[in-house]
Amino acid sequence: MWQLFYFPLCPFSRKVQLVLSEKKVPYTLQLAYPWEDDDRFHALNPAGKTPVLHHAERRLVLIDSQAICEYFEETESKSPLIPGSAAARAEVRRLTALFDDGLYGDVTEPLIYEKMKKRLILRQSPDSGVLRAAMRLTHEHLDYLDWLIDNRRWLAGAQLSLADFAAAAQLSVIDYLGGIDWSGHEQSHGWYRVMKSRPSFAPLLSQKMEGLPAPRHYADVNA
Amino acid sequence: MWQLFYFPLCPFSRKVQLVLSEKKVPYTLQLAYPWEDDDRFHALNPAGKTPVLHHAERRLVLIDSQAICEYFEETESKSPLIPGSAAARAEVRRLTALFDDGLYGDVTEPLIYEKMKKRLILRQSPDSGVLRAAMRLTHEHLDYLDWLIDNRRWLAGAQLSLADFAAAAQLSVIDYLGGIDWSGHEQSHGWYRVMKSRPSFAPLLSQKMEGLPAPRHYADVNA
Ligand SMILES: N[C@@H](CCC(=O)N[C@@H](CS)C(=O)NCC(=O)O)C(=O)O
Ligand SMILES: N[C@@H](CCC(=O)N[C@@H](CS)C(=O)NCC(=O)O)C(=O)O
């Protein structure tokens, strides 16, 4: 069986969990904090990052959320998440990269540092300037999501795709960290409620980071 | 015909150029500096990053170097660069991401900022602490390359792959910026000389960033 090394607020582990659930691939979870000494984890991934997906019996180690998603897209015909023509697939991958790199780097990563790492590891208070900058960039990203949803059925086009799951994975972590104000973003909010209601999302809504409670609305699929 | 928006020291544009040349896809080059106002470029890519690959006749805009490489892997059967089984392909993608994200973030990006942007745009001198840190991380990455080359024919396994081109693209920019000291890395150095001698590499060795001359050895395929 596949074993996923993850921690609750790692957006890339969330993206992989969503894809595995959508494709009905069974897996177990193994907690791994990249910033802690954990010889077994670092032996699997010398880069020391989550997610890592390990299949002991088949001696397979998959690393990097996009490499993992492409692997299951190639090996599981169920629920294609990079559907369509080569051009349509390029659009799914463009947006997935935009959320994995751009939204993560602009918002998720600084929020994880300021609100999670500083609180749980460094015992410092967050820098309010950094939080304000992340908040402003969140609005810019939500404006772009609004525009996509105004023009398309799903983010990358007519079909639900990895781009939707990649965006929702980042936003779920940002939301857990209290970083989303949906006002003025009705389209994105409606789309996120739909994503949150999918059965594949339920496990994410119950995963808690120890010592860091989620806001009340976080797990409410109607909020 | 495809038109590539690039600037000479963008490692991701270099990765795309290598792949297009290896697959014998014709294209023209269009200079674009992401940090300058360029309405045509920003209309094509709202994220404002190079590379962007545009095909006006077919109304296609491809964005993100990995999405671009996957597109040509799917549409051009010539010279497969993500070869083998699903597991082998996952290994190519893991390493490509390691170089595109890890090596870029640790070394190429800070060097571009300190040695190119500060000189050409900000008219400041580089921060020697940042340069020292990048130098140290370069050695760690080269250690890992040495290890790969000791254990495999090419970086990702028995066959030349996108991982080799992604690594060589980053290293060529680092080398242009005077950031590589090969001593103690004979294996990586030998592998890089082989990459540098490929016909697909020749155009990169002649591309110069205006106002920032390359070191003497940079374009010498025997150095
Ligand atoms: N491109 C990678 C990114 C993985 C990544 O950045 N993971 C973060 C956690 S979200 C990490 O492990 N960072 C190291 C740390 O926090 O010490 C992927 O998609 O899997
Ligand atoms: N993941 C993207 C990364 C592209 C990227 O970061 N490009 C840099 C240049 S190397 C950029 O345009 N940065 C914006 C700037 O320099 O202002 C890709 O692979 O294409």
Chain A residue set in contact with B, beta carbons under 8 Å? 46-47, 60, 62-64, 66-68, 70-71, 74-75, 86-87, 89-90, 93-94, 97-98, 101-102, 144
The values of phi and psi at residue B55, to 5°, are -125, 95
- State the Cα–Cα distance between residues B213 and B85, nearest whole angstrom: 43
Paired strand residues for B154 = B157
> What pLDDT sits at residue A211?
94
Q: Choose the mutation target among B101, B140, B141 for the interface with A, i.e. most A CBs under 10 Å.
A: B101
Which residues of chain A make contact with B16, given a CB cutoff of 8 A? none
> What pLDDT sits at residue B147?
98
Tell me the pLDDT tens digit for each residue of A72-123: 999 999 999 999 999 999 999 999 999 999 999 999 999 999 999 999 999 9
Same fold, A2-75 and A86-206: no
**Domain B2-75, CATH:** 3.40.30.10
Tell me the pLDDT tens digit for each residue of B78-134: 999 999 999 999 999 999 999 999 999 999 999 999 999 999 999 999 999 999 999
Which runs of E-coded beta strand occur in A81-152? none
Of B71, B87, B93, the CB nearest to A60: B87
The finding on whether B12 has its CB within 6 A of some atom of ligand 2 is yes
Tell me the pLDDT tens digit for each residue of B183-204: 999 999 999 999 999 999 999 9
Element (H, E) at B100: none
Say if residue B40 is exposed, middle or buried (CB neighbours under 10 Å; 0-12, 13-18, 19+): exposed
The values of phi and psi at residue A28, to 5°, are -115, 160
The finding on whether B193 has its CB within 6 A of some atom of ligand 2 is no
Rounded to 5°, the CA angle B28-B71-A94 comes to 95
Tell me the pLDDT tens digit for each residue of A150-179: 999 999 999 999 999 999 999 999 999 999
**Mean of the per-residue pLDDT values of chain A:** 97
Q: Is the backbone peptide bond immediately before A8 cis, with ω within 30 degrees of 0?
A: no
**Mean of the per-residue pLDDT values of chain B:** 97
Instruction: For residue A25, count other CB atoms closer than 10 A to its CB.
Output: 16
Instruction: For residue B67, count other CB atoms closer than 10 A to its CB.
Output: 20
The finding on whether A126 has its CB within 6 A of some atom of ligand 1 is no
Q: How far apart are the CA of A63 and the nearest CA of chain B, in angstroms?
A: 6
Of all residues in chain A, the percent with pLDDT exceeding 90 is: 97
Q: Which amino acid is at A184?
A: G
The structure's pTM equals 0.98
The values of phi and psi at residue A209, to 5°, are -85, 120
> What pLDDT sits at residue B223?
85
**Domain B86-206, CATH:** 1.20.1050.10
The values of phi and psi at residue A88, to 5°, are -65, -40
Instruction: Read off the DSSP letter of residue A60.
Output: E
Q: Which protein residue has the closest C-alpha to ligand 1 atom 6?
A: A49
> What pLDDT sits at residue A223?
85
Tell me the pLDDT tens digit for each residue of B134-159: 999 999 999 999 999 999 999 999 99
Provide the residue ranges of all domains of chain B, joining segments of one domain with +: 2-75, 86-206
Cβ <8 Å between A67 and B93: yes
The finding on whether B96 has its CB within 6 A of some atom of ligand 2 is no
Tell me the pLDDT tens digit for each residue of A75-87: 999 999 999 999 9
- State the Cα–Cα distance between residues A104 and A99, nearest whole angstrom: 6
Tell me the mean pLDDT in the region A197-201: 98
Element (H, E) at A30: strand A27-31
